[in-house]
Amino acid sequence: MAANSPPVGIAHLTLLQLSPPDLVTTAAAAGFSFVGVRVKAVTAGEHEYPMSPGSPMSKETLQRLDDTGLSVLDVEFLSLGPQTGPDDWLPALEAGAALDARTISVVGVDEQRDRLTDTLSRLTADATPFGILPTLEPISYNAVSRVDEAAALAIATGAAVLLDALHVQRGGSSLDEVRALDPALVPVLQLCDGPLVLPDSLDVPAELPLGMTTDGSVLKTESRALRQVPGEGEFPLAELLAVVAPETPLSAEVPNVRLQAQLTPLEYAVRNREAVRALLERVRAPSPTASGQ
């Protein structure tokens, strides 16, 4: 990786079938420098890995991090709803702190904005002693769906914003909204690809693995099971990278049940790492106009 390249990692959703320690080993072999780890199940039926501090799996994950030199940037995942409170986030914060994670990703599903603001404020206060910063991700099918909404909430509560290329595209946010963000507000950008226009339907297996429930929603199906590898779709990824700080860490979040049925986890991880590398090279390449001057 070039000296001026940002760190590149892989989100757990990309290879959710792997346990955290196996994710670390696979990510290292593929050339990533950090991982995101799920310490809390997200969807109904999803397997929850036993990652409480001191558990055998937590200890094994720490050993693999030490062996490979990788780090954990973020742990996930918490939906902030009307009833969400410390009983929901303290175990995740404890698990994240044991891994020396820096952020915890959250989404806003509470339609009442004042209450959501209060919940995020309390989470941010509780996360501070753990050295963890909540990152609010605008999700195209949730109450907080746009970049500007997430930014306003993050600024009001001392949190940060997690940008995801898919939800920037599907949530209707503009590149100008991303450009307007204080770089310090964005600790990571998740990359994937897809068609510019959401299809009317998506052909997926009758049963998605690992509890990836979609509720029949095309948006959820794409988000959780059929994202495309960076550079293999139509998203304006180069333009998106151009409006965030060049040192912003990049995380490949690319669940794709079709491709993953054809490739080993390592092969799929390598495909995504090489795709991000190619994207960065394209972004750094001088334009024909500039080179001709």
Convert the pLDDT of each residue in 209-225 to its tens digit.
Answer: 554 555 668 888 899 88
pLDDT value at residue 43 = 76
Peptide bond between residue 77 and the one before it cis (omega within 30 degrees of 0): yes
Sign of the C-alpha dihedral, residues 254, 257, 258, 263? positive
Q: Where are the beta strands (DSSP E) in 199-280?
A: 250-252
Phi, psi for 170 (deg, rounded to 5): -80, -25
pLDDT digit string (tens) for 50-109?
999 999 999 999 999 999 999 999 999 899 999 999 999 999 999 999 999 999 999 999
Q: Is residue 32 part of a domain?
A: yes
Please tell me the predicted confidence (pLDDT) of residue 132: 98
**Total domain count for the chain?**
1
Among the residues of 113-173, which ranges form H helices?
Answer: 113-127, 147-157, 165-170
Q: Is residue 72 assigned to a domain? A: yes
Tokens 């860490």 belong to: 249
Q: Cα 192 from chain centroid?
A: 10
Q: Is the pLDDT of residue 231 over 80?
A: yes
Please give the DSSP secondary-structure letter assigned to residue 256: B
Other C-beta atoms lying within 10 Å of the C-beta of residue 147 = 26
Q: What is the pTM of this model?
A: 0.93
**pLDDT at site 218:** 87
Residue 291: its pLDDT value, please? Answer: 47
Q: Is pLDDT above 50 for 9? A: yes
Whether the per-residue pLDDT at 293 is higher than 70: the answer is: no
Contact 36, 10 (CB under 8 A): yes
Is the residue at 192 inside a domain? yes
Cα–Cα distances (Å) from 181 to 75, 93, 158, in that order, read 23, 26, 14
Could you list the beta-strand ranges (E) of the chain: 8-10, 34-38, 71-80, 103-108, 133-136, 160-164, 188-191, 250-252
- Look at 21 and 290; give whichever has higher pLDDT: 21
End-to-end CA distance of the chain: 28
Does some domain include residue 165? yes
- Please give the residue range of the domain that contains residue 66: 8-283
Is 1 a domain residue?
no
**Element (DSSP H or E) covering residue 187:** none
Confidence of residue 46 (pLDDT cuts 50, 70, 90): confident
Whether residue 208 has pLDDT greater than 80: no
Pairing mode, strands 103-108 and 250-252: unpaired
For 250, the 3-state DSSP assignment is strand
Domain contains 3: no
pLDDT in tens, 267-288: 999 999 999 999 999 887 766 6
Contact predicate 91/85, CB 8 Å: no
Average pLDDT over residues 103-117: 98
pLDDT at 1 over 50: no
Evaluate whether residue 289 is within a structural domain: no
292 in any annotated domain: no
- The CATH number of residue 170's host domain is 3.20.20.150
Q: Which residue has the higher pLDDT, 42 or 159?
A: 159
